[in-house]
């Protein structure tokens, strides 16, 4: 606390730990503080006793649930896209070597009261029960087009030489796709949270669909990966990276005040100590006057004694219920993991239902998803407000992450990290220059 730092990072959530690692690798002198006495913040993984302490105060875990230490339950469930930017970050920074991953067994979508595997290749389209024969042929042609499209090869354009100048609505109509097919393509493949993208240029959506297909092609079961022992391993991996490059960590360190001078951040006060710095970065809980509320997210944690029905007895899976299929304004996400990932005892499954909350009754509101899980052995209901930072200038020297949304994947969180890194440094994240494995001599830039 007696030294001056380039960056003081507040909170050890996933986003903050990734940024801490990247900034340390870039030569920044980083002090990382957390008011909690554990790593992970909102993205921690809890054992059973911690879960009851957090959400069932006064209750003790029933013996039927097994040993507390065998649980590593994510507060905020997410899966990792196999070909996405987070994997590139993990490989680029060598953090991947600290972790073990397992492929998620299946990716499913809800339609008409049933769940089915998400088809995202021309071959899968022909065998999918989601569509009739003629719709299957239309989808097959559409997926062949998106997979083969090359801006520099006119033979792949089919009348659309520039996808920045045509909307997705136009593409969907060109291939004659119906609303149900559009629902799963947009929400379970391109992973949009609403339908605004339909009137936007098609380029980004086609890229998202190809990312999904490329990720699936790596492992065939699904496009998603999940770390053994839970998501709490991710922040710790990036914290280790930061420490190798000279980052300093302080857990259980209260933050009493962000210190400003002429509107600019100049330090952080903890008790009677003030640490000087050039920039402060943190999650919304450290900047209550610098964020706006954007809504609420309900996450219902369910412990099961069997796999989710109709998922081919999958040890892990994602199920997306598109908003139009459940007559809501928001999609519902189900993520399921099990003892195969060392997150619960053998024979148990942890299924978490997540969505933006639209009423005051999360159980009733998300009942359509809960019914898909089969018998529930135990349940924890959590509701959290979500926040985004108010507009600020980089010259103000403070940078705030957005709250984690209801999606069951890391794509939006990774975009937030990349955007924050650019605002903090003025540069894009460089994934081309691989850092050294050995601890370098630290420089203060």
What's the CATH code of the domain at 98?
Answer: 3.30.519.10
What gap in Å lies between CA 102 and CA 176, rounded to an integer?
37
What gap in Å lies between CA 310 and CA 315, rounded to an integer?
12
Verify that 314 and 173 share a domain, yes or no. Answer: no
Total structural domains in the chain? 3
Verify that 286 and 397 share a domain, yes or no. Answer: yes
Q: Give residue 296's pLDDT band: very low, low, confident or very high (50, 70, 90).
A: very high
What gap in Å lies between CA 427 and CA 418, rounded to an integer?
10
More confident of the two residues 442 and 193: 193
Lowest mean pLDDT, pick from 30-44, 258-272, 314-328, 344-358: 30-44
Q: Collapsing DSSP states into helix, strand and coil, what is residue 232?
A: coil
Six-digit token string for 235: 């922040």
What are the start-end ranges of the H helices in 348-410?
Answer: 362-365, 367-370
Q: Collapsing DSSP states into helix, strand and coil, what is residue 399?
A: strand
Verify that 319 and 285 share a domain, yes or no. Answer: no
Host domain of residue 328: 58-105+296-386
Which of these three, 336, 362, 386, is where a domain ends? 386
Six-digit token string for 75: 């507060």
Verify that 391 and 262 share a domain, yes or no. Answer: yes
| Predicted pLDDT at 442 | 34
Q: What is the mean pLDDT of residues 246-252?
A: 89
Spatial CB neighbours of 97, under 8 Å, sequence gap ≥ 6: none
What gap in Å lies between CA 321 and CA 244, rounded to an integer?
42
Task: Tell me the whole-structure pTM to 2 decimals.
Answer: 0.89
Verify that 312 and 182 share a domain, yes or no. Answer: no
Residue 433, domain member (yes or no): no
Verify that 238 and 262 share a domain, yes or no. Answer: yes
What gap in Å lies between CA 90 and CA 241, rounded to an integer?
10
Six-digit token string for 65: 């649930």
């Amino acid at each position: 606390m007696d030294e001056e730092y380039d960056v003081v990072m507040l909170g050890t959530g996933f986003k903050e730990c990734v940024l801490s690692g990247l900034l340390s690798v870039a030569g920044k002198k980083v002090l990382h503080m957390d008011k909690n006495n554990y790593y992970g913040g909102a993205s921690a993984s809890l054992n059973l006793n911690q879960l009851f302490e957090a959400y069932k105060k006064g209750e003790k875990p029933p013996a039927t649930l097994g040993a507390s230490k065998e649980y590593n339950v994510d507060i905020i469930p997410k899966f990792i896209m196999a070909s996405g930017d987070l994997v590139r970050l993990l490989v680029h920074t060598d953090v991947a070597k600290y972790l073990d991953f397992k492929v998620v067994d299946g990716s499913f979508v809800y339609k008409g009261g049933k769940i089915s595997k998400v088809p995202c290749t021309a071959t899968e389209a022909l065998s999918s029960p989601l569509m009739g024969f003629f719709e299957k042929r239309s989808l097959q042609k559409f997926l062949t087009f998106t997979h083969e499209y090359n801006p520099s090869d006119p033979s792949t354009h089919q009348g659309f030489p520039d996808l920045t100048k045509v909307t997705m609505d136009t593409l969907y109509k060109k291939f004659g796709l119906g609303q149900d097919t559009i629902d799963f393509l947009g929400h379970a493949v391109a992973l949009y949270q609403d339908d605004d993208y339909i009137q936007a240029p098609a380029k980004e959506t086609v890229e998202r669909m190809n990312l999904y297909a490329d990720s699936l092609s790596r492992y065939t079961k699904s496009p998603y990966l999940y770390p053994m022992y839970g998501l709490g391993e991710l922040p710790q991996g990036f914290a280790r990276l930061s420490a190798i490059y000279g980052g300093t960590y302080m857990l259980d360190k209260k933050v009493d005040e962000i210190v400003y001078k002429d509107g600019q951040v100049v330090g952080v006060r903890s008790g009677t100590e003030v640490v000087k710095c050039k920039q402060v970065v943190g999650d919304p809980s450290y900047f209550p006057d610098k964020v706006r509320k954007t809504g609420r997210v309900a996450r219902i944690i369910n412990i099961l004694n069997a796999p989710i029905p109709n998922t081919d007895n999958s040890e892990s899976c994602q199920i997306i219920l598109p908003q139009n299929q459940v007559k809501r304004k928001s999609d519902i996400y189900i993520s399921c993991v099990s003892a195969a990932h060392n997150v619960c005892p053998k024979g148990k499954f942890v299924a978490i239902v997540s969505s933006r909350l639209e009423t005051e009754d999360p159980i009733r509101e998300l009942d359509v998803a809960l019914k898909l899980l089969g018998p529930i052995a135990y349940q924890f209901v959590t509701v959290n407000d979500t926040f985004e930072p108010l507009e600020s200038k980089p010259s103000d020297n403070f940078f705030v992450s957005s709250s984690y949304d209801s999606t069951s994947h890391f794509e939006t969180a990774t975009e937030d990290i990349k955007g924050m890194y650019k605002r903090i440094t003025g540069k894009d994240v460089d994934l081309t220059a691989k850092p050294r494995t050995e601890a370098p001599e630290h420089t203060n830039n």
